[in-house]
A and B are shown apart, each in its own frame.
Chain A
Amino acid sequence: MSSVLRAGRTAGLLCLGLSALLPMLLLAIWSVGDSWFYPALWPSRLTAESWRALLSGEGRLWAAAVTSMLLAAGTGAMACIVALPVGRALARLDGWRRHLGAALTFLPVAAPPVALATGLQFSFLSLGLGGRPIGVLLAHAVPAVAYVSLYFTGVFAGFDARVEEEARSLGASAGQTFWFITLPLLRRPLAEGFALGFLISWSQMPLTLLIGGGAVRTLPIEVFAFVEAGQDRIAATGALVLLVPALVALAAARLAASRTEVAAV
């Protein structure tokens, strides 16, 4: 019995390891594989051409990565600024109001991106925002603000507002309380909210496609175009670049979690 169980556990661990690491390994090989035709299991030549082009700033990937980076950073910042007061207000609700508030906030998160984009495109076009980075930024902010608001609702549910009251009763102004008490207490949630907003914009495609109208070339748009064109090597390179912020965010979250565990012990 226990040996069967142990074999099952080992097989499960192996599967999880393969499922987590194999895609990255495959993409890495694909990004340097040259003239790799069926049925070869290994590319006949290796080339760092797509990486060299990326790092020297030539080609479409680098420009797209910069565009994506700026849009994602802007979205992350905007999401935090809007979601902070929204999350706080939502956390003060109770009973059915809390559930209605959560459901409303959840709508932009769950709405199909294609439906959101088609619904928004006309108003964005009439406001002169179509085909421009600022329009794409605002469109990315719609789901990002909702996600981060839900996250901040959770944060504020466990937030002790008495510290702020104490600061106020000791004579601090509302502004001082916010800058010197609230903000430092929320440093980590703000960093996590920013990362969340960043990643939502970073991996977004349908909103960019429709609001950007093909004029705003983000990394997902380019990777998609390269896959469709059968340019596997460049597509794999772009896909690996798309993974970088995701892995950095995950590593940072693990690090922060293990620090908290150590502090708790």
Chain B
Amino acid sequence: MRWGLLAAALVASPVAAGVVYSAAAATGLAGFDPRGFSTDRLSRVLGEPAVWESLAWTVRTASLATLLASALAVLVAMTFRRGRGVDRLARTLAVLPLPVPHLVAATTAVLLLAQSGLLSRLGFAAGWLAGPADMPPLVYDRGGLGLVLTLTWKELPFLALVATTLLATRGAALEETARGLGAGPWDTFRLVTWPLLWRGLLPSIVAVFAFAAGSYEAAAMLAPSDPLALPLLTLERYTDPDLARRGDAFVLVLVGLMLTGAAVGLHEWVRYRTTELPG
């Protein structure tokens, strides 16, 4: 019994070490220029508007991508839920990009969405665009639409897999029971299918949000330089030629880890609520 928690602590220990070290470096006890304990750096970095803009931009982009991917996953799972034929093919296609690395997705997105990319060329060929400058900027744009689309594409397969599995393993029997008890199609969906889907999907949605918010490669290739996404801002400070500014990265590491910690905490709390408590 005790071994289990010890083993889990061992697996988590590199993160714990990273948190402890970052906290020490953020307060002047370690890092590039340790000068004794002080909260100056913490208050200075957390007082920068750029840091909060970066956090807000990252949360917004990751939330938007997660929301879009979740909605599409539910749509795919509901539309193609029969056992054979077209439905099976559609589900296979939806899950196919699952193991594609973020970097490959981002590379393709650049080639496709950039202002001289294939989409822009198609627009030119069709006579809608007069040149690359006419193409709405999707790469490096402030709105981050290119990044949102790429992250959505990257997250959809996982969420679609979870949603289709939920419907296949638990949905059918529960729905049949509801219909047997006299529920119409709408009530069956409202009272059985929908709660099953969102409850079952929520842990995966939270996990996917954490991945999207922390993803470095896709942001580095597609995100704007102002505001900088949180992972990019962290690395920019960490490699700053000015040693004093380098230490700022540790405060940003703590901010990023707190965002993840909040997501994981929520994740386990939801799981606890949905599996351990009755009703």
Spell out A's residues near B (CB within 8 Å): 8-9, 12-13, 16-17, 19-21, 23, 26-27, 30, 38-41, 85-86, 89-93, 95-116, 118-120, 122-123, 142, 145-146, 149, 199, 202-203, 205-206, 210, 220, 223-224, 227, 232, 235-236, 239, 242-243, 246-247, 249-250, 254
Contact = CB atoms under 8 A, between A and B. Distances in A.
Contacts of A23: 97, 100, 104-105, 108, 112
B134 to A, nearest CB: 11
A39 B96 CA distance: 31
B80 A101 contact: no
Interface stretch (B36-44, B49-57, B180-188, B231-239): B231-239
Contact of A115 (B94, B105, B108, B257): B257
B245 interface: no
A112 B214 contact: yes
B217 A146 contact: no
A102 B96 CA distance: 27
Contacts of B211: 110
Contact of A205 (B9, B75, B98, B216): B216
A119 B253 contact: yes
B198 interface: no
B4 A89 contact: yes
A262 B1 CA distance: 38
B101 A203 contact: yes
A199 B104 CA distance: 13
A118 B249 CA distance: 8
B201 interface: no
Contacts of A21: 93, 96
Contact of B8 (A16, A95, A100, A112): A100
A137 B13 CA distance: 17
B261 to A, nearest CB: 8
B118 A119 contact: no
Given A19-B97, A110-B264, A205-B217, A12 B121 contact: no
Interface of B: 1, 3-12, 14-15, 17-19, 21-22, 25, 30-31, 75-76, 79-80, 86, 89-90, 92-94, 96-108, 110-112, 116, 118, 120-122, 124-125, 131-132, 153, 156, 207, 210-211, 213-214, 216-217, 220-221, 230-231, 234-235, 238, 249-250, 253, 256-257, 259-261, 263-265, 267-268, 271-272, 276
A97 B4 contact: yes
A41 B18 contact: no
A191 to B, nearest CB: 15
A259 B2 CA distance: 38
A97 B263 contact: no
B104 A239 contact: yes
B41 to A, nearest CB: 15
Given A118-B249, A243-B104, A246-B99, A39 B121 contact: yes
A106 B25 CA distance: 25
Given A86-B7, A146-B12, 11 more contacts: A9-B80, A41-B122, A107-B264, A110-B260, A111-B18, A112-B216, A112-B256, A115-B231, A120-B18, A122-B30, A243-B101
Contacts of A100: 5, 8, 268
Contact of B214 (A97, A105, A113, A118): A113
A203 B76 contact: no
Contact of B11 (A26, A41, A105): A105
A30 B110 CA distance: 12
A223 B107 contact: yes
Given A20-B94, A242-B103, A250-B96, A220 B276 contact: no
Nearest to B160: A16
B118 A17 contact: no
Contacts of B253: 114-115, 118-119
A115 B3 contact: no
A262 to B, nearest CB: 15
B74 to A, nearest CB: 13
A236 B109 CA distance: 11
B256 to A, nearest CB: 4
A30 B111 contact: yes
Contacts of B121: 38-41
Contacts of B256: 112, 114-115
Contact of B99 (A41, A95, A111, A249): A249
B54 to A, nearest CB: 12
A105 B14 contact: no
Given A119-B253, A123-B17, A227 B110 contact: yes
Contacts of A119: 14-15, 17-19, 21-22, 253
25 contacts: A12-B90, A13-B80, A23-B104, A27-B104, A27-B107, A27-B108, A39-B120, A93-B1, A93-B5, A97-B5, A99-B276, A103-B267, A104-B11, A104-B12, A110-B207, A114-B234, A115-B18, A115-B260, A118-B18, A122-B25, A142-B14, A203-B102, A235-B107, A239-B107, A250-B96
B31 to A, nearest CB: 8
B270 to A, nearest CB: 10
